[in-house]
C-alpha cells in the first residue's frame, strides 16, 4: 500500500506537454485534410482513369452531376434512378434553370460513369440531356499520375 | 527561485482530464470523418442536338475524324478503326492523329479545327471510350500535357444492346 500511494502521488509528475502537443498537431492535420467541399463522390462508381484528366480549378457554372453505376442505374442527388426515368428529373432541373433566368445550355452536366458501364447507356444519358436542351458535358475520369 | 518552485508545485494541481477527453474526442471525430478524395478531372464535350448539327450546312472545311470502337461479346474492346482503317491500339491511334493534325495546337490550327467523332458499340465498356478520348485529346510529354484535338462528339446512340 505504501508503494501504491507513492506511485499515485508521483503520477501527477508525468509531463503531459508532449502528448498534448502531438494531439493538437494531429487535430490540426485532420482538420486541414477534411474537405468541406461537396465533392460528389460515390463508392458505387469506379471511374475510369486517364492521364489527361487533370483536376479542375474553380467551380463550374450550374453543374448537374449524373453518376452511372455499372448496373445501369443513375445516382442522381443521392437516389438511384433508372436511365429511362432520368428525363423527368432533368425536366425539373431545366425548370429551375429557366426560373432563375438561365438557359439550359449554360449548365454543365457532369457525367461520372463507371468504367465498366455500357457506352450505350452513357450515350442515352447524353441524348436525354440534349433533348432537354443541355449541351455542355463533362466526362469525369480519375486522374492517373503514373506512366 | 523559491517562488518559481512553488509555482511549479501548483501546476500539477490543474486537472487535465476534461481537456484531454475533449481533445481526444475531437481527434476521433476528425479521424472518422476523414474521406480520401481522389483527384478527378473532366473531358469537356460540347454536343448540341445531333439533328440540328447534322442539318446545318458544314461551314467547317475540315472533315471530322471518325473513330470506331467495336465491342466484343463481353463488352471489351474488339477493334479500333480510324476513318475506316484499322488501328492496332490507342498508342497507334494517337500517332495517327498526330500525323494527321500535327502538333501545332495554337489558335486556328488544324488540330483546333478538327473534330473527332466517336462511334461506339452499345455494349462497349465505358473505360475504353475514356482511353480513346485520352488518346486523341492529348499526350503527356515529360510531365507536361500537350493538347491535341479538343472537340469531341459522339455519334447518336445505337438501338439495341441488352
Report CB contact under 8 Å: B125, A116.
Answer: yes
Which ipTM value was assigned to this complex? 0.72
Coil/strand/helix, residue B41: strand
Report CB contact under 8 Å: A20, B20.
Answer: yes
* DSSP conformational letter for A83: G
pLDDT for the residue A25: 92
Domain ranges of chain A: 2-33, 49-143
B32 lies within 8 A of chain A by CB: no
Strands (E), B72-154: 77-82, 85-87, 115-120, 138-141, 144-147, 151-154
**Nearest Cα residue to B45 out of B143, B119, B151, B144:** B151
**Cα–Cα distance between B51 and B76 in angstroms, integer?**
29
- Mean pLDDT throughout A104-113? 85
- Find, in chain A, the residue whose alpha carbon is nearest to that of B142: A147
Question: Which of A50, A115, A119, A123 to substitute to test the interface with B, most B CBs within 10 Å?
Answer: A119
Residue A21 predicted with pLDDT over 80: yes
| A40, A67 contact by CB (below 8 A) | yes
pLDDT for the residue B12: 57
**Cα–Cα distance between A111 and B63 in angstroms, integer?**
27
pLDDT for the residue B1: 47
Q: The domain A49-143 is classified under which CATH number: 3.40.1390.40, 3.30.420.270, 3.30.1330.10, 3.40.50.720?
A: 3.30.420.270
* DSSP conformational letter for B36: P
- Find, in chain A, the residue whose alpha carbon is nearest to that of B147: A52
Nearest 10 degrees: CA dihedral of B94, B97, B103, B105? -110
Residue B162 predicted with pLDDT over 50: no
Residue A20 predicted with pLDDT over 70: yes
Question: Who has greater pLDDT, B53 or B140?
Answer: B140
Q: What is the mean pLDDT of chain B?
A: 77
Coil/strand/helix, residue B116: strand
Q: Which residues of chain B neighbour A54 with C-beta distances below 8 Å?
A: 41, 145
- Mean pLDDT throughout B87-116? 79
Q: Per-residue confidence at B6, pLDDT binned at 50, 70, 90?
A: low
Q: Per-residue confidence at B8, pLDDT binned at 50, 70, 90?
A: low
B46 closest CB neighbour out of A16, A136, A142: A136
**Cα–Cα distance between A57 and A3 in angstroms, integer?**
64
Question: Who has greater pLDDT, B11 or B113?
Answer: B113
Residue A46 predicted with pLDDT over 80: yes
Q: Which residues of chain B neighbour A117 with C-beta distances below 8 Å?
A: 125-126
Q: Per-residue confidence at A1, pLDDT binned at 50, 70, 90?
A: very low
B158 lies within 8 A of chain A by CB: yes
**Cα–Cα distance between B92 and B17 in angstroms, integer?**
66
A139 closest CB neighbour out of B23, B123, B133: B133
A116 closest CB neighbour out of B44, B127, B138: B127
Q: Which residues of chain B neighbour A143 with C-beta distances below 8 Å?
A: 38-41
Proportion of chain A above pLDDT 90, given as a percent: 5
Q: Per-residue confidence at A2, pLDDT binned at 50, 70, 90?
A: very low
Q: Which residues of chain B neighbour A142 with C-beta distances below 8 Å?
A: 38-40
- Find, in chain A, the residue whose alpha carbon is nearest to that of B48: A135
- Mean pLDDT throughout B136-143? 78
Residue A6 predicted with pLDDT over 60: no
Which strands form B151-154's sheet, in the order they lie side by side? B85-87, B77-82, B65-71, B115-120, B151-154
B72 lies within 8 A of chain A by CB: no
Give the distance from residue B97's alpha carbon to the nearest chain A alpha carbon, in angstroms.
16
Name residues whose C-beta falls within 8 Å of residue B145's C-beta, 6 or more positions apart in sequence: A51, A52, A54, B138, B139
pLDDT for the residue A39: 60
Q: Per-residue confidence at B109, pLDDT binned at 50, 70, 90?
A: confident
**Nearest Cα residue to A68 out of A106, A102, A119:** A119
Residue-wise pLDDT tens digits, A59-97: 777 788 888 888 888 888 778 888 888 888 888 888 888
B52 lies within 8 A of chain A by CB: no
**Grid-cell match 449554360, residue found:** A106
pLDDT for the residue B134: 86
Residue B72 predicted with pLDDT over 60: yes
**Cα–Cα distance between A127 and B156 in angstroms, integer?**
8
CATH class of B63-154: alpha beta
Q: What is the DSSP string of A29-80?
A: HHHHHS--S-----TT----EETT-PBPPSPPSSEEEEEE-TTSEEEETTEE
pLDDT for the residue A4: 47
Question: Which of A20, A35, A52 to substitute to test the interface with B, most B CBs within 10 Å?
Answer: A52
Amino acid at each position: 500500500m505504501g508503494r501504491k500511494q507513492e506511485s499515485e502521488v508521483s503520477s501527477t509528475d508525468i509531463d503531459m506537454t508532449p502528448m498534448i502537443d502531438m494531439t493538437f498537431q494531429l487535430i490540426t492535420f485532420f482538420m486541414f485534410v477534411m474537405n468541406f467541399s461537396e465533392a460528389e463522390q460515390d463508392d458505387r462508381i469506379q471511374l475510369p482513369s486517364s492521364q489527361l484528366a487533370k483536376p479542375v480549378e474553380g467551380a463550374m457554372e450550374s453543374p448537374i452531376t449524373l453518376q452511372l453505376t455499372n448496373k445501369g442505374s443513375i445516382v442522381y442527388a443521392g437516389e438511384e434512378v433508372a436511365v429511362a426515368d432520368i428525363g423527368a428529373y432533368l425536366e425539373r432541373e431545366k425548370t429551375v434553370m429557366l426560373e432563375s433566368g438561365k438557359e439550359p445550355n449554360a449548365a454543365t452536366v457532369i457525367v461520372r460513369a463507371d468504367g465498366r458501364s455500357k457506352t450505350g447507356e452513357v450515350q442515352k444519358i447524353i441524348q436525354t440531356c440534349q433533348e432537354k436542351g443541355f449541351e455542355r458535358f463533362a466526362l469525369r475520369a480519375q486522374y492517373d499520375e503514373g506512366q | 527561485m523559491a517562488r518559481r518552485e512553488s509555482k511549479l508545485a501548483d501546476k500539477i494541481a490543474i486537472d487535465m482530464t476534461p481537456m484531454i477527453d475533449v481533445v481526444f474526442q475531437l481527434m476521433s471525430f476528425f479521424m472518422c470523418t476523414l474521406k480520401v478524395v481522389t483527384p478527378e478531372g473532366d473531358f469537356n464535350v460540347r454536343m448540341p442536338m445531333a439533328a440540328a448539327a447534322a442539318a446545318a450546312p458544314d461551314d467547317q472545311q475540315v472533315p471530322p475524324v471518325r473513330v470506331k470502337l467495336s465491342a466484343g461479346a463481353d463488352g471489351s474492346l474488339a477493334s479500333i478503326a480510324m476513318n475506316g482503317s484499322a488501328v492496332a491500339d490507342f498508342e497507334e491511334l494517337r500517332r495517327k492523329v498526330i500525323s494527321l493534325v500535327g502538333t501545332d495546337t495554337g489558335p486556328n490550327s488544324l488540330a483546333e479545327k478538327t473534330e473527332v467523332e466517336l462511334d461506339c458499340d452499345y455494349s462497349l465498356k465505358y473505360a475504353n471510350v475514356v482511353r480513346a478520348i485520352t488518346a486523341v485529346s492529348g499526350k503527356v510529354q515529360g510531365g507536361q500535357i500537350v493538347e491535341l484535338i479538343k472537340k469531341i462528339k459522339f455519334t447518336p446512340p445505337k438501338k439495341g444492346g441488352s
